[in-house]
């Protein structure tokens, strides 16, 4: 595996110098998100998220399968993430970051029970839907986590599975022409908001790639529209005070509302 290219001395020194004065190298404010664009479609369950230069494509598909024996009445939701050298030079093979993102998205969506898995059951113990979510990272300019979570939830909301009728022991799967496909039952929309810490009280929202490479630690808050915390993630780095965490959550609350609105707009635009 080729190691990711470290930022040069000029870049990291300037970044820290500018940040000390409250300036970010891309001209944003400390607590500004980059320009977020979400587009759903053309196919059902496809969502593309642009977060500045970062670009993530999520694709949801489904098939019928046999359930796990210990969860006979629950459908299955699977996640996979692919981070290749397409996104940035130097990325090759299974990177730790790829695994971390896939795991986080999985944790955020599955463990917070965002997707109603019982609604994916067709015949208990016999047939259930397997919903697969593939994340493709097309361009890496930092904060893949947030972009991935937004793309994932938008794609799941946009997805329509074929309708099914159950007649005793038989399940009939209707083609798209016969019956309108049905949306997944989604309880809530967890969204990640990431922060980068640069020591002291220096906190930035939505770190870019350069900021991610220079930061001392990162912190991801996952919230839904009901202002509930679904997950917190802090993998290593410098310690944070409870006060800082509180503050991050306050900021994230505002951002999550904005992101949710954008997802709604994108979904509306794709059906219009």
124 binds other proteins (CB under 8 A): no
Nearer to other proteins, 8 or 78 (CB): 8
Exactly one of 18, 99, 172, 232 binds other proteins (CB under 8 A); which one? 18
Comparing CA positions, the residue from 152, 214, 216 lying closest to residue 189 is 152
Does 24 interact with other proteins (rule: CB under 8 A)?
yes
Task: In whole angstroms, give the CA distance from residue 13 to residue 194.
Answer: 23
Alpha-carbon span 136 to 105, nearest angstrom: 13
Question: Is there a contact between 233 and 254 (Cβ–Cβ < 8 Å)?
Answer: no
| Euclidean distance between the first and the last CA atom of the chain, given in angstroms as a whole number | 45
Among 8, 65, 73, 250, binds other proteins (CB under 8 A): 8
- Residue span 82-101 as binding mask against other proteins, x where in contact by CB under 8 A, dash where not: -------x------------
Query: Of residues 4, 25, 61, 253, which one binds other proteins by CB under 8 A?
Result: 25
From residue 27 to residue 46, the character string flagging contacts with other proteins as x (rule: CB under 8 A) and all else as - is x-------------------
Question: Is residue 6 involved in binding other proteins (CB under 8 A)?
Answer: yes
CA-closest candidate to residue 120, choices 66, 192, 190, 69: 66
Q: How many Å apart are CA 62 and CA 83, to the nearest integer? A: 22
Is 130 a binding residue for other proteins by CB under 8 A? The answer is no
The two beta strands, 54-65 and 127-139, are antiparallel
The single residue among 11, 74, 106, 116 that binds other proteins, judged by CB under 8 A, is 11
Listing DSSP states for 25-36 in one string gives TTS--TTPPPPE
Which residue number, 3 or 96, has a Cβ lying nearer to other proteins? 3
Return residues touching other proteins (CB under 8 A): 5-12, 14, 17-18, 21, 23-27, 89
């Amino acid at each position: 595996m080729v190691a990711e290219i470290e930022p040069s001395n000029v870049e990291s020194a300037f970044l820290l110098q500018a940040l000390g004065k409250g300036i970010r190298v891309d001209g944003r404010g400390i607590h500004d998100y980059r320009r977020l664009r979400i587009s759903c479609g053309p196919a059902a369950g496809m969502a593309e998220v642009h977060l500045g230069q970062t670009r993530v494509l999520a694709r949801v598909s489904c098939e019928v399968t046999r359930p796990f024996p210990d969860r006979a009445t629950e459908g299955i939701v699977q996640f996979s993430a692919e981070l290749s050298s397409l996104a940035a030079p130097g990325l090759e093979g299974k990177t730790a970051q790829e695994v971390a993102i896939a795991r986080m998205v999985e944790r955020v969506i599955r463990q917070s029970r965002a997707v109603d898995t019982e609604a994916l059951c067709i015949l208990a113990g016999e047939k259930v839907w397997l919903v697969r979510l593939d994340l493709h990272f097309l361009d890496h300019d930092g904060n893949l986590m947030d972009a991935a979570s937004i793309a994932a939830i938008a794609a799941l909301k946009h997805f329509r599975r074929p309708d099914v009728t159950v007649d005793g022991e038989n399940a009939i799967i209707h083609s798209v022409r016969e019956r309108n496909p049905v949306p997944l039952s989604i309880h809530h929309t967890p969204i990640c908001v990431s922060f980068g810490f640069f020591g002291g009280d220096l906190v930035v929202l939505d770190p870019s790639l350069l900021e991610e490479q220079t930061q001392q630690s990162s912190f991801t808050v996952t919230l839904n529209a009901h202002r509930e915390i679904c997950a917190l993630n802090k993998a290593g780095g410098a310690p944070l005070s409870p006060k800082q965490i509180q503050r991050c959550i306050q900021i994230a609350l505002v951002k999550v509302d904005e992101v949710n609105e954008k997802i709604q707009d994108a979904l509306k635009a794709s059906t219009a």
